[in-house]
Amino acid sequence: MCGFIGIQGPAGSDVAAEIYEALLAIQHRGQDAAGITTFTDTFHTRKDFGLVRDVFSERHMEALRGNLGVGHVRYPTIGGGGAEDAQPFHTNFPVGVAMAHNGNLTNFQELKVKHFESSGTRLNSSCDVEVILYVFVRALSARMKPGAKVTGEDIFAAVKTVYEEVRGAYSVIAALPDVGLVAFRDPYGIKPICVGSRDGSVGTYWACASESVALDINGYTHRFDLGAGEAMFVPEGGEPIRRVIGDKPHRPCIFEYVYFARPDSMIDDVSVYKTRIRFGEALAEQWKESGAPIPDSVIPIPDSSRDSAMAMATAMGVPYREGLVKNRYIGRTFIMPSQDSRQNSVRRKLNTIKLEFEGKDVLLVDDSIVRGNTSLRIVRMAREAGARKVYLASTSPPLVSPCPYGVDMATKTEFVAAGRSNDEVAKLLEVDHLVYLDRERMNEAARRGNPHIEKFCNACFTGEYPTGDISQTVLDNIGGERTAMQKSFAFTPVK
């Protein structure tokens, strides 16, 4: 899970400030590193570890000139050994391209051997977008004639080559100086990408981003989302040219609606906010059907579960209360790159309002339960605050399988629900009652926003991977890469 924004403005404009504002809006998608690349007569790049506000100073922003640019916030799944893994990446030869992506390549090791280790060509990083960039540029250069300018047909042919060679889940944004803006989405459309435009005083601006909120914040109108296997080319001063190149079924990631995206975003024409409301309503119905005790209040574990908890409380006819106060200067624990950093941040991140717990039966609502360590700590905090009974509800089903598509979701043995019954998980989490949202109810709640989506990627709940190429060897390779990344930062491995 990462976030990106690409903007092409009219000639003579500067887009870095808008890219900066967009990255602030999608900071929740990655807190490890940030970067911006723009172009005038040469590429201008600033990227480093840290939050957006810390990476870019006024001096950096003044140097990022040009009407064409790409920005990125990084959440590490592959790579992570140094600042060289921060995105965007760019190359000057044989074709100038700056590129960023969101996702993960499942055949990254295979591609490294094929294109780099066997040829003597050197990678500059351990980030998989560098491989996409290499395959894309190599395919472009193979079509180009001396002195000819890159055309839309060249671009779509290069994207086709990427689809043929690169497996996994990815959405990509690329800036080609003197050519235009390019975006494409993986053949199954697992990772999101939306497109918007804004009319300025000197012409039209076009932007592509991971979430629509990155467009909203700069006054862009959200025009459309790219579909599965679809590419788009916006030539300089022109209108978008779209082409569906892949022929696979659309399987967007359901976890975008559960956790990743901001509630004010639209993804694949589905409101994240309304979907979470429907999650809460479905969970309330399921809670009552299970014969579970009715609590004195419903309390969200902030922030992603807040809308669902409010809807659940309303549907159950019990008070909604804010019993956990979040320190907003602490990052999202799920996307921290080691278990120790996740655990140590829980107490810093959350504090209880004791009046909402003392002598009460409380229902805590969370968006998901992964390893269970964070949930256990919060349950213990509730009891320390005086709760008589502590119940727990998850707006997603039990997570039982690792995600090879760009989400650091543990190994199969680390999921608290893997191989355990609901009662066993409840005992481990020290709760008096536990309910997970049924998978079909979850899918239906999301699908109601866009009936054209037949199925969502549910691999983390089922172990059935839509790309059809995920073996245990692939999972082991990805797990090994993530372990190496943790060690490079001197992180304590997950226990």
Instruction: Give residue 491's pLDDT.
Output: 35
Q: How far apart are CA 460 and CA 438, in angstroms?
A: 14
pLDDT one-digit tens code per residue, 301-359: 998 999 999 999 999 999 999 999 998 777 655 545 555 555 556 878 899 999 999 99
Residues 38/44, Cβ–Cβ less than 8 Å: yes
Instruction: Give residue 410's pLDDT.
Output: 57
* Cα-based angle 8, 11, 13 (whole degrees, multiple of 5): 75
**Which CATH fold topology does 270-456 show?**
Rossmann fold (3.40.50)
Q: Determine how many CB atoms are found less than 10 A away from the CB of residue 380.
A: 13
Average pLDDT estimate for 388-417: 88
366 annotated to bind ligand: yes
pLDDT one-digit tens code per residue, 175-234: 999 999 999 999 999 999 999 999 988 899 999 999 999 999 999 999 999 999 999 999
403 annotated to bind ligand: yes
Instruction: Give residue 493's pLDDT.
Output: 30
194 annotated to bind ligand: no
Integer angstrom CA distances of residue 335 from 67, 91, 370, 409, 481: 32, 29, 12, 9, 16
Residues 215/46, Cβ–Cβ less than 8 Å: no
Instruction: Give residue 92's pLDDT.
Output: 92
In terms of residues, how long is the chain?
495
Q: How confident is the model at residue 489 (pLDDT cuts 50, 70, 90)?
A: very low
Instruction: Identify which of 93, 8, 5, 92 has the alpha carbon closest to the alpha carbon of residue 42.
Output: 92
Residues 210/193, Cβ–Cβ less than 8 Å: yes
Instruction: Give residue 271's pLDDT.
Output: 98
Q: How far apart are CA 401 and CA 167, in angstroms?
A: 19
CA 175 to mean position of chain CA atoms? 21
Instruction: Identify which of 365, 358, 217 has the alpha carbon closest to the alpha carbon of residue 282.
Output: 365
Candidate list 2, 127, 194, 208, residue with the active-site label: 2
Strand partners, 46: 36
For the chain, domain boundaries = 3-250, 270-456
Name the superfamily (CATH) of residues 3-250: Aminohydrolase, N-terminal nucleophile (Ntn) domain (3.60.20.10)
Average pLDDT estimate for 55-79: 90
Average pLDDT, the chain: 91
Average pLDDT estimate for 47-76: 95
Question: How many CA atoms are closer than 13 Å to the CA of 190, on its beta-carbon side?
Answer: 25
Q: How confident is the model at residue 471 (pLDDT cuts 50, 70, 90)?
A: confident
Instruction: Give residue 150's pLDDT.
Output: 93
Q: How far apart are CA 129 and CA 94, in angstroms?
A: 18
- Whether the pLDDT of residue 241 is over 50: the answer is yes
Instruction: Give residue 248's pLDDT.
Output: 95
Among residues of the chain, what percentage have pLDDT more than 70? Answer: 90
Average pLDDT estimate for 4-13: 97
- Whether the pLDDT of residue 486 is over 90: the answer is no
Instruction: Identify which of 294, 289, 250, 301 has the alpha carbon closest to the alpha carbon of residue 446.
Output: 250
Residues 365/299, Cβ–Cβ less than 8 Å: yes
Does 208 participate in catalysis according to the annotation?
no
460 annotated to bind ligand: yes
Instruction: Give residue 481's pLDDT.
Output: 62
Q: How confident is the model at residue 110 (pLDDT cuts 50, 70, 90)?
A: confident
Q: How do 361-366 and 389-394 pair as beta strands? A: parallel
Q: How far apart are CA 181 and CA 92, in angstroms?
A: 16
